[in-house]
Structure 1
Amino acid sequence: MTSYFKRPTEYYRRTRWTYPDTLRVRGSVIPTVLSDVFIITIFSTIIQTINTMRLLPFQLVFPSVIAPALSVVVGLILAFRTNTAYDRFWEGRKLWSALDVQVRNFSRMLWVGMKETPHPHGVTNGVASTVSLTAATPAANSAPAPAPAPNPPASSSLGAHLFSRNSKSTTPREPAKVNSNATLSEFYHADDHEKILIIKLLLAFAVSVKHHLRQEFGVRYFDLEYLLPEGFVPCAATDRVEIKTQIQDKALGDRYRQYNEEPWDIRAGNEEGQMSLPLEIAYALSLWIIGESRAGRIESSLIGNLLGSINTMTDIFTNMERIVFTPIPLAYSIHLRQVVYLYCLALPFTFFEILGWHTIPLMALVSFTLFGMDGIGTEIENPFGKDANDLHMDEFCRDLKRELDYLVNLRNTVPGAHA
C-alpha cells in the first residue's frame, strides 16, 4: 500500500540515487523539440556545404550585428511565453489546494455536526452499513444482510433528485470490487451511513472535476462510478457529445452562429439542457443540505458554512474551467514559433565566416535552447492534463480519498473524554 505521507520529490520521482537531471529524457522537452533541432541542424549543414564548395558566385554571409538585434526581441517573447504558462500552472495548483480545503472542511463539519438518531447497530434503513468509502461484503460464513426496505424514510434519503431525477432506464451497475477484510461495524447507524454517502459525493465532486478538466466525460471510470449513489444518472453520463457545425457571421454582430439555430428560450421540459457533472453534484449536495436543515438534523450554525463551501467549490471549478478553456491566443503562439524559426534560420549566416563547420553544432545547441523554452511553455500552460509535467491530480485524488476513508472511521467523541 502506498503511503499517504510523501516528500515533495516523490511526486516527480527524484531522489539522490537516481541519475542526474542532465541525463534525464523522461519528463523533459527533448522529444518535443527534437524535430525542430533536426531541421535547423540540417539547414545549417546545407548552407555550410554550399559555402564551402562555392556552389554560388557569392558567399552566404550576413553582418554580425543582426544577431544581437534579433536576440533581444526573441528573448523577450520567450520570457513572456514561459512566465504566462507558469502563472497558469501555479494558479491551477492553488485552485486545487483550495478545493482540498473545502472538501476537508465540509467533510469534517458534516461528520461532527450532523445530529445522530439511534438505529439498530449495523443496519441502515434496512441495509447493512460499512465503515469505509468502499462497500463492504460480509464474510461467507456470516448471516446474510437484511433485505433493503422498500420505502426508506424521506428524512434519511438524499432527496428525490439524487435517485429519480432522470427517468431514462439504465443498465444496473455491477457490484463493486470490495475488500474481503472489511467488516460490519457495530458503532455505525443510519446517520453515519448517510454521512458516508454525502462524503462519497464530496470525493466524487473532486474526481469529476479532474475528469471534466481532462475532457473525459461520463461516469464510467473506476474512481468515479461507485462514488455516486445508485440511480444517480446525470446528464453528463453520456460519452458522446454532439458538436454542431458553426459558421462565422459578422453581419449579425455575433462571433459564431449555428446552422438552423432556433431562438433561445428557458422553459420546463427542454431536453437540450445540459450541465457538467461537478455542477450537478454541487446541486445535489445543496438539495441535501436544505432538506436536512428543514428537518433539523444539522446544527443550524453549520448550515451557512456548508452552503458556503459548496459555493466556493463551484467558484473553484469555474476558475479551473477558465484556465482550460482559455488557452494562450493562437496568433501569439504562431507568431512566436515563426519568430524563433526565422531567428534560427538567419543566425547561421552570421557565423559561417568566423566559425566555419563549427556553426553546425552551435546552431544545434542554440535551437535546442530556444525551442526548449517554447516547448516548456506549451507543456505547462494546461496543468490539468496527463503529461509528466502536469499536476499530479490522480495522486491528489488518492490522498483525498485516504483522508476521507480515515475520517469515516473516527468516533465522534472528544479525545480524553469518557464515552
Structure 2
Amino acid sequence: MSVNQPVVEPATPISRVETFAHTGFRVPDPFAPRQRPGSSFVNALLATALFRCWHILLFFAGWSTLITVLNHHGHKLFIQPTLLTVVGTVLGFIISYRTTSSFERYNEGRRLWSQVILASRTMARTIWFHVPNAPPAEGMSEQEAAARSLIEKKSAINLLEAFAVAIKHYLRGEDSIYYQDLYHLVKFLPAYALPAGLPASPTDNSVFNDDSHNRSPVSPQTIVTNSFSSPISENPYPNGLSSSGRQPTITIAPISSVLHQRNSNSATSPSSLPAPVSIGAPGKRSSYYNGVTSPVSANLQKEKERMILTRQDENYLMPAHMPPKYSVFDLFPFSLLVKCLTENGKDVKGKKGARIRAKLRNEAVSHNLPLELSLYLSSYIASLQNRKICDVPTTNTLLLSLNQLVDSLTGLERILTTPIPFSYSIHLWVVTIIYCLALPFQIWSTLKWITIPGTTVISFIFFGFLVAGEEIENPFGYDKNDLNLDHFTHSIIRNELRAVTSTPPPNPTRWAFVPENNLLFSNYTDERVTPEQWIARGPNAMQRNLSQF
C-alpha cells in the first residue's frame, strides 16, 4: 500500500465512545452589552466619577459664578495667574501618583485572583489525574477502595471551590458559612478556633444589614424570621440566587454569638483534624441558632462546632450576592450624616453606610474561613504522604498549589488592610480644594464669563481622579468599578472544577487511537489515514511522512 494513497472514508459515521461526554456549561458573557440601551447608559453614568463628585462640582460652579458676577459688577477680585501654572503642575503630578497607587492596588487584586484561579486549576487537575487510588485495606474490596478514593478526591476539589468562595465573602466582610454558594461545600467540616485575619475596631457592634437582606456578624446569635419576598428553590445555589432572581428578606438580630459553637468540653484530637461535629436531631425546626463564644484568652486548640441546618432550614441561607441598594443617604448632603449615625449604632441604608459598617467591624467579626480550608487541604496532602500513595513530584505540585492559594489570600488581606495614609490623603484633598477655590480669581481676567464652566471642568478633572482613586482603592466590594468576584468564583472556578471531575481521567489508548485522529502524519487534508493503518505501515512510513514537512 502506497504511503500517499488516500484512504476511502467509511460509509457510516464513526462514533466516539467514552470521550468527554459531558455537555459543557453555559454561563452569561460578562462582557456582553446589555439589552436595554437606556439601562446601559444609566449604569455607565453611575460608574463614572461624575456621579461621586457632582455635589463638589455644584459647589465650585456656584463659587465661580459668585466671583464672576462680583467681578462683572466692578469688584476687582482677581490675582495674577502665576500660581495657576506652578501649583497646577505639581498638583497634577500628585493626583496622578494618588490615582496610580490606587490602580496598582486594583491591578494587584486582579493578579492575586488570577493566581487563585491558576492554583485551583493546577491542584484540581493534579488531584484528579495524578493521585492514584489507595490500595484496599484488609477486608476491603477493590470497588470500595476506588469509591473511597473518589470521594476523597471530589471532597478535596470541592474545598478548592469553597476556598475561592470563602475568600470572596471574607474580603466583603460577610462572615460565617451560611451562604447559598458556601454552606453546602463546608458544612461537614469542624471549625478551627483561628484568630481574626482582618483588623478590627471595638467601636461598632452593628450588624451588616442592608435593606431586605442582612449580613451576619461574626459572633452573634442569629434569628432568622420566616419573612421572604420569594422563597428559595430546593436546589439553592446553581447561580447563587433564588429561582425567581429575587433575594429573600432575612431579619438578623445580634445577640451573643454567630452560627458557630465552641465545644468547651472537648479535648484536642490527636488526629490531624478535629473530630466530626454532631448533627442535631433530624426534622427539628430551628427558628434560631444558639452559640456560645468563648473569651479571647481561651485555648485556641479546642474544637469548634458549626450548627448543621436541617433540610428545611437550608431555605433560609443568605444569598451569595448581597449588594446594598442605593438610598437617600448616598446623596449629598445626607451622606455627611452617614458616618456619625453608623458609629452611634444606627442602621443607615445605602452603599456608603454599608462601606462604613464594613470598616467598623468588631474584634470577632473576621473569622478566617479561607485559612481554615487551607488547613483541611493540607491535611489531605499529609494523608497522601502518610499512606505513601503519591510520588514526590505529585506531592510537591500539590504543596506548591496550596502555597499559592495561601499566598494569594495573604496578598488580598494586605491590599484590604493597607489603606492610603490618612495624612497624605487629607492633605491632597485640602490642597486641591484651595487650588480650585483660587482658580476663578486667576482666570477671570482672561476668560470672563467662561470662568464658570472652566472652573467646573477643571474641578471635575482634579476631583474626578481623587474620587476614582478612592473607589478602586478597595476593589473587592459591590461598587460599579469593583472586580467581579462572583464571576471568578461561579463562572470560572466552579464550572471548570466541575468540568474536570465530570469524566474519569481519559485513557490515551482510547483518545489517541480513535479513527477520527486521521491527520497524524499527513501533509494534505485529502489524505486520511487512521492510527491503526499507520501501525500496520510501521514507524519507517511514519518517519518518511514527517520528513516531508
- Shared topology, TM-score over 0.5? yes
Query: Which one scores higher on RCO, CA 8 angstroms, separation ≥ 6?
Result: 1
Change (3 A) 1:60 1:23: farther
Instruction: Say whether 1:221 aligns with 2:182.
Output: no
The equivalent of 1:47 in structure 2 is 67
Deviations 1:87-140 (CA, angstroms, capped at 9, x unpaired): 111111111111111111111110112222599xxxxx9xxxxxxxxxxxxxxx
| 1:291, distance to aligned residue in structure 2 (A) | 1.8
Normalized per residue, the structure richer in helix is 1
CA contact (8 A) 1:81 1:377 kept: yes
Shift of 1:354: 2.7
Q: Distance in 2 between matches of 1:416 and 1:406?
A: 21
One-letter amino acid of the structure 2 residue matched with residue 31 of structure 1 = F
Secondary structure at the aligned position of 2:166 is classed as helix
1:195-250: CA deviation from partner (whole Å, max 9, x where unpaired) = 11111111111111111111211111111111114253454799xx985469xxxx
TM-score, normalised to structure 1, is 0.70
Residue 386 (structure 1) aligns with: 478
Deviation, 1:359, is 1.0
Query: Which residue is equivalent to 1:196?
Result: 154
Question: Is 1:340 the equivalent of 2:427?
Answer: no
From 76, 89, 100, the equivalent of 2:106 is 89
Aligned pairs for 1:146-185 within 5 A: none
Alpha-carbon distance in structure 2 between the residues aligned to 1:38 and 1:314: 47
CA gap of 1:291–1:24, structure 2 versus 1, over 3 A, is closer
Give 1:287 shift.
1.3
1:31 is aligned, of 48, 51, 58, to 51
Is the Cα–Cα contact under 8 Å of residues 68 and 449 in structure 2 kept in the other structure?
Answer: yes
Deviations 1:54-106 (A, max 9, x none): 4xxx5111112221111111111111011111111111111111111111111
Q: Pairwise mapping of residues 248-287 of structure 1 onto structure 2 (< 5 A)?
A: 276-287=368-379
Contact in 2 for aligned 1:217/1:236 (Cα 8 Å): no
User: Which residue, 66, 69, 80 being the options, matches 2:97?
Assistant: 80
- Map Cα deviations across residues 346-377 of structure 1 (whole Å, 9 max, x no partner): 01011223322221111111111111111221
Provide the aligned length of Structure 1 versus Structure 2. 331
- Residue among 486, 489, 493 paired with 1:397: 489
Distance in 2 (CA, whole Å) between partners of 1:413 and 1:2 is 19
Report the CA distance shift for 1:4/1:263 in structure 2 as closer, same or farther (over 3 A).
closer
Structure 1 gaps of 5+ residues are: 120-124, 126-152, 157-187, 247-261
CA contact (8 A) 2:194 2:300 kept: no
Q: Work out whether 1:66 is the aligned partner of 2:86.
A: no
Match of 2:504 in 1: 411
Unaligned runs of 5+ in 2: 1-23, 205-294, 305-362, 514-549
Secondary structure class of the residue paired with 1:326: coil
- Residue 322 (structure 1) aligns with: 414
Equivalent position amino acid for 2:67 in 1: I
- Corresponding residue for 1:296? 388
CA distance in 2, matches of 1:267, 1:35: 50
Contact 1:88 1:382 in 2 (8 A): yes
CA–CA separation in structure 1 for the residues paired with 2:160 and 2:449: 63
Q: Give the corresponding residue for 2:448.
A: 356
**Distance in 1 (alpha carbons) for counterparts of 2:187 and 2:178:** 14
Give the % identical residues: 30
| C-alpha deviation, 1:285, in angstroms | 1.1
- TM-score of the two chains, using structure 2 as the length reference: 0.54
Look up the match of 2:4. Answer: none
Residues 23 and 47 of structure 1: is their aligned pair in 2 closer, same or farther, counting only changes over 3 Å? farther
Partner SS for 2:371: helix
1:100 matched to 2:117? The reply is yes
* Matching residue within 454, 461, 469 for 1:377: 469
